[in-house]
Chain A
Amino acid sequence: MVERVTVSGEIHSVFKARVNVQGVVVAPSALEATSTRAETIQVQASSAAASDNPCQPEKLPFSLIHQPCLGMHAQFHKTLRLPSRRLFGYGLYNQYGISYRRFHSVLASRSYDVSHPPVIYVYEQADNHQEAVGLLNTLQTPFVVLKKQIEAGIKPDETTNEEMRKYLDKIGYSVHYNPHPMAEAADVPCSNKIWTNSISFTLPGLRVKAQLAPSWTQSCHNTASHMISLEMSVFSRPHISLRFGNAFGSTRFLYPEIYLPNTSLRYGISLKRPQRNQRSPL
């Protein structure tokens, strides 16, 4: 179930980097629910990529490109061409289509070692309605997977949170609860290398609420920028996309300063950062 596709042209980072990739991608087709095979994705990238790249290249510290997870459905059907703006044309940054937005905003959000870029570049274009529906279906877990889960009576329970913690541990992050974060404020120096804050909110049901996420971050950014350096990210459901562009700024904000250097706020995940270029066994 390995198909080949040729990727050519530029891939624009939505944040700050730009990576040029030319080569051949070998990607897994939709994985079966019981599949445990280690598929291989090979990307041969142009070494000319770094010229426009303001970031220090680095490798992805876990090898997802070699072991696509169950349920991931990167499908490549044909040689890619320039995108059809008619169906999915959203301007310069999003002209690569819906799948581009999903994967690229996550995976290509920074620069990596171009000899092994973790770019799973999914771009398809639809020539007819049926094909468009088929492409839309690639944006979700394959129905066969869901069906098998339902038939097996598999429902999320308390073990799922523990599994997530194990996954995080495997890729080099630890999650531990600090019961009194403010109590340690005076003793623990703040670093922008530590994820000090996380804001969680749920947007069930009425999907229009998701509109407020970029609005929210924009507000935070604008209000806070004169006081602190603020870098912010949004994680939303995969079939809901954010617009990254120049008109209203990016949802993510990068500033060189360390914010509030004399203040410590500790929330959320405390992490042990993996060494750069270190690969996780995941």
Chain B
Amino acid sequence: MKPVYFRYLTLMSYHVFLQEGVDAAVYEVGIGGQYDSTNVVENPAVTGISTLGIDHVFALGNTIEKIAWHKGGIQKKGALSFTVKQSPGALAVVQGRAEERKVKTLTILDEDSRLAGVKIRPDAAFQRLNASLAIKLAETALQKLDPRFEICPTLPKEFVDGLEQVVWRGRCELKKEGNVTWYLDGAHTQDSIMVATNWFVGESFQKYEISAKCIDTITYQEQARDSCPHFQSTRPPRSY
């Protein structure tokens, strides 16, 4: 019995992280959650579910509720769970799964008010919501790691620096080469293509006031996905 590719990478991560003796590990699921190869950690310090989208429909199902069932499967008995605002159907499923799996608490997060003044990139509502989730996960983990850690009424400088200074190559990245500016981002679902498009529009149109007719777009699509047929419907709007 040999592991498939993603399971192989997951096994490698367990091995490397454990051999390195890490104190904490952040695991992003691959496909779904319930049956994902990362879902063997029985008692995680905390789990988080960010905004759900339609993806991997073959394996997870073709509705947001079916997908939410899989995502809700990462929640664990006795562990804290956090999520953000979801569509009503998805949220109901996640809440149901939380009850079923006897999580300690499931908290639905709104935007963290302490993010006021923090420069989140891209400066969009969804990303501020994501940042709020990241903050809560970090705080919860820190409390587990050190009982002396106290949640501050204002974000610690370290949190702000982490959020503002993060560099993720190829993700919402601007790269200048002479007179050419590359806007680098990636997306593989219709939702995420829209997000990437809006980021591009926000960056390029506001700064350079260029016309949509001037834009050449190059897309790369994974072989098993069918997002590109929707691309025409997600052409950059003229206002951000």
Contact = CB atoms under 8 A, between A and B. Distances in A.
A169 B147 CA distance: 32
A267 B192 contact: no
Interface residues of A, number: 112
Contacts of A198: 24-25, 27, 41, 44-45
Interface string A212-237: 11111111111110011111111111
B145 A207 contact: no
Interface residues of B, number: 110
Given A110-B16, A146-B224, A71 B26 contact: no
A236 B28 contact: yes
Contacts of B121: 211
Contacts of B185: 208
A71 B49 CA distance: 28
Interface stretch (B106-114, B129-137, B201-209, B230-238): B129-137
Contact of A220 (B18, B138, B172): B138
Contacts, number: 385
| Chain A interface mostly | loop
Contacts of A194: 21
A223 B138 CA distance: 10
B59 interface: yes
Contacts of A231: 20-24
A195 B26 contact: no
A259 B24 CA distance: 12
Contacts of B10: 164, 235
A214 B166 contact: yes
A80 interface: no
Nearest to B16: A109
A268 B23 CA distance: 11
B35 to A, nearest CB: 4
A201 B222 contact: no
B49 A202 contact: yes
Contact of B50 (A150, A201, A215, A238): A201
A206 interface: yes
Interface in A138-189: 140-141, 143, 145-147, 150, 155-158, 160-161, 163-168, 171, 173, 175-179, 181
Interface in B118-162: 121-122, 126-127, 130-131, 133-135, 137-138, 140-142, 144-149, 156-159, 161-162
A194 B24 CA distance: 10
Nearest to B188: A207
B116 interface: no
A198 B42 CA distance: 10
Contact of A167 (B3, B33, B140, B187): B3
Given A208-B195, A231-B20, A177 B42 contact: yes
Interface in B197-234: 199, 220, 222-224
Nearest to A190: B23
A70 interface: yes
A196 interface: yes
Most buried by B among A67, A167, A236: A167
Given A143-B223, A219-B159, A206 B24 contact: no
B142 to A, nearest CB: 6
Given A199-B44, A273-B18, A204 B1 contact: no
B28 A210 contact: yes
B67 interface: yes
9 contacts: A36-B2, A164-B3, A211-B171, A212-B131, A219-B162, A220-B142, A231-B22, A237-B6, A265-B144
Interface of B: 1-33, 35-55, 58-59, 67, 71, 74, 77-78, 121-122, 126-127, 130-131, 133-135, 137-138, 140-142, 144-149, 156-159, 161-163, 165-172, 185-189, 191-192, 195-196, 199, 220, 222-224
**Can you list the 7 inter-chain pairs with the closest CB atoms, starting with the nearest?**
A205-B53, A222-B158, A71-B5, A201-B48, A218-B162, A219-B162, A156-B35
